[in-house]
Structure 1
Amino acid sequence: MIDFKGAQFPKPVILYVVFFYLRYAVSYRDLEEIMAERGVRVDHATLNRWVVKYAPLIGAEAQARKRPTASSWRMDETYIKVKGRWTYLYRAVDRHGKTLDFTLSVRRDLAAARRFFKRVISTNGVPDRVVIDKSGANLAGLQAVNVSLKFTAKCKTVEILQVKYLNNILEQDHRFIKRITAPMMGFKSVHSAAATLAGIEAAHMIRKGQFDDPGMTVFQQFAALAA
C-alpha cells in the first residue's frame, strides 16, 4: 500500500491528478486550470511534486502485479529531452506488445545496454529470444548478459535476432510515450524524468490490459495499484 499520510489533499484527488497527467497529453499548467474548473485549487508546482513522488511508487506496483509476458521480446531505445539534452529511454515489450520494463540513461553504450538487459531479465525472467536493432552496443550488452547466464544454475542463454522490421511493434509503442511527454517540453532532471516515465509506463500498461481488471475502469485500475 502506498502511504499518503500527511498529504494536504485527499488521496482520491491526488490519484486523479497524477493519473490524468500520466495518461493524457497535458502540461502541469493545463492540469492546474482543469482542476480549478472542478473546484480544486492546486498550483502546478504541487502537481509536479505529486507526480515525482507517487508515479514511481505506482510504477513499481505495476511491475510487481502485471500479468506474465511472452518469452519473445523486442528491445529498442528512443529519446527523451532532459535539461535541454537528449537522453536514451531503453524499453522492451514482448511479441504481443505488452510492456516488460524501461530505464533511462544519459549514455547509449555497452554498459547502459547491459544494465537494461539485466534489469528487464530480473523482473521478467530469462526470455527465449530478444529482437534488437543493428546497434553494436545493444548486441554487445546482450552478449555480455549471455556470458553471465551461462554460469547460472539453469545455464540458459538468450537467442539474439537483429531484424529491424520485427521491432515495428515497439516503434509504434514508443509513439504513445512520446505523445504523452511532448507537452512536458523536457524534464529538469534525470530523477524527475525517470519518476514520471515510470508512471506513464504504468498507465500505458493498464491501457494494454496487463492487469486483472474485473469490471474496473482505467482510473480504478490505476487507483488499485496504490491500494
Structure 2
Amino acid sequence: MILELVVPGRGSLVSSAPPSYKGHRYPVEIISHCVWLYFRFPLSFREVEELMLERGVLVSYETIRRWCAKFGQAYANALRRRRPRPGDKWHLDEVFIKINGELTYLWRAVDQDGNVLDILVQNRRNKAAARRFFRRLLKGIGAVPRVVVTDKLRSYSAAHREVMPSVEHRSHKGLNNRAENSHQPTRQRERALKGFRSTGRAQRFLAAFSSISPHFRPRRHLLTAAEYRTEMTTRFDVWSQITGSTGPPVGA
C-alpha cells in the first residue's frame, strides 16, 4: 500500500511505502511485531526472544537486534510523517543520561499537546549545543513556533537571540513541566537497558523510541474504556500500514 502524506510544515505531498523485506526469511508480521515489542515495552532483546518462543516462533535475540537497528528508524520516520501538524508552542528541556559512566545530555522538544518534536544527544549543554538543537528543530519541522518555553538555562536565551530572535521566549522552570514529564519513558528504558554504551547508539535508539512509543501511548486518562480501545485499534491499523503487515505474528 502506498499512502500520499503531507509532511508537517511543508506543502508538497510525498509517497510513503513500507520498507523492503527482500532477503529476510521471516515474514513481515514477525519482524514488525518484534520491533514493536522492543520499542513499546521495557524489554531486552533476550526477553523479546523469549516472548516469541512462547508463541512458537524461533528467532534469536541477535536477529531481533538487527531488525530493530534496520527497521526501527524507518518505522519511526513513517510515523512522524503521519503525525498531526505540530503546535506553535514548543517546550524544550535537557536532561542528563549516563553513557559508559559519563554524563551526557538528552535534549528534547515537545509541543503544547505533548507530541515529541525531536531529540538530540549531545555532550554539552552550552550555547553551541542549544543553537544546534534549535537549528535542527527548525530544519526538521519546517516551521517557526509562536512561543518557545524553556527553563532558566542561560544557553537557551543566548541561542534563541541568535537563531530565532522574533519568536517569543518564556524562561521559567514552572512553565516547562510538559517537557520534563516527557523524559519519564526515557528514564524507564534507560533503567531497563542499564544505560547506553555510546552516544551514537543512544541517539539511534532514542530517535526511534521517541516516535514509536508515544504512538501507542494515547492520553488514556482523558478517554473512556471504549474510546481507548477504538483509538488503539486505529493506531494499530496505522502501524500495519507503515510496516506492511497484515495481522499478528504466527502463534498470536
TM over 0.5: yes
Name the structure 2 match of 1:52: 69
Alignment match of 2:110 (pick from 79, 93, 111): 93
Given candidates 177, 181, 188, the residue that maps to 2:186 is 177
The answer as to whether partners of 1:52 and 1:192 remain within 8 angstroms in 2 is no
Indicate the SS of the match to 2:176: helix
Instruction: Give % identity.
Output: 33
Q: Which amino acid aligns with 1:187?
A: F
Equivalent AA in structure 2 for residue 108 of structure 1: R
TM-score normalised to structure 1 length: 0.85
**Is the CA contact 2:91–2:111 (under 8 Å) kept in the aligned structure 1?**
yes
1:31 shift after superposition: 1.4
Q: Which among 49, 69, 81 is matched to residue 32 of structure 1? A: 49
Moved >6 Å (runs of 4+): none
CA deviation after TM superposition for structure 1 residue 209, in Å: 5.2
AA matched with 1:133: D
**What is the match of residue 156 of structure 2?**
138
The TM-score with structure 2 as length reference comes to 0.77
Alpha-carbon shift at residue 45 of structure 1 (Å): 2.0
Partner secondary structure for residue 53 of structure 2:
helix
Cα 1:79–1:38 change in 2 (3 A) is farther
**Distance change >3 Å, CA 25–CA 119, structure 1 → 2:** same
User: What secondary structure, in the 3-state scheme, does the structure 2 residue paired with 1:216 have?
Assistant: helix
Corresponding residue number in structure 2 for 1:220: 237
Q: Deviations over 1:139-168 (max 9, x none)?
A: 222222125xxxxxxxxx211110111111
What amino acid maps onto 1:16 in structure 2? H
- Distance, in Å, in 2 between the alignment partners of 1:21 and 1:215 is 18
RMSD: 2.2
Amino acid at match of 1:160: H
Cα distance in 2 for partners of 1:14, 1:80 equals 29
Task: Say if 1:91 and 1:215 are closer, same or farther in 2 by CA, change over 3 A.
Answer: closer
Q: Distance in 1 between matches of 2:240 and 2:156?
A: 36
TM superposition shift of 1:63: 2.3
Change (3 A) 1:107 1:6: farther
Which 5+ residue runs of structure 1 have no aligned equivalent?
148-156
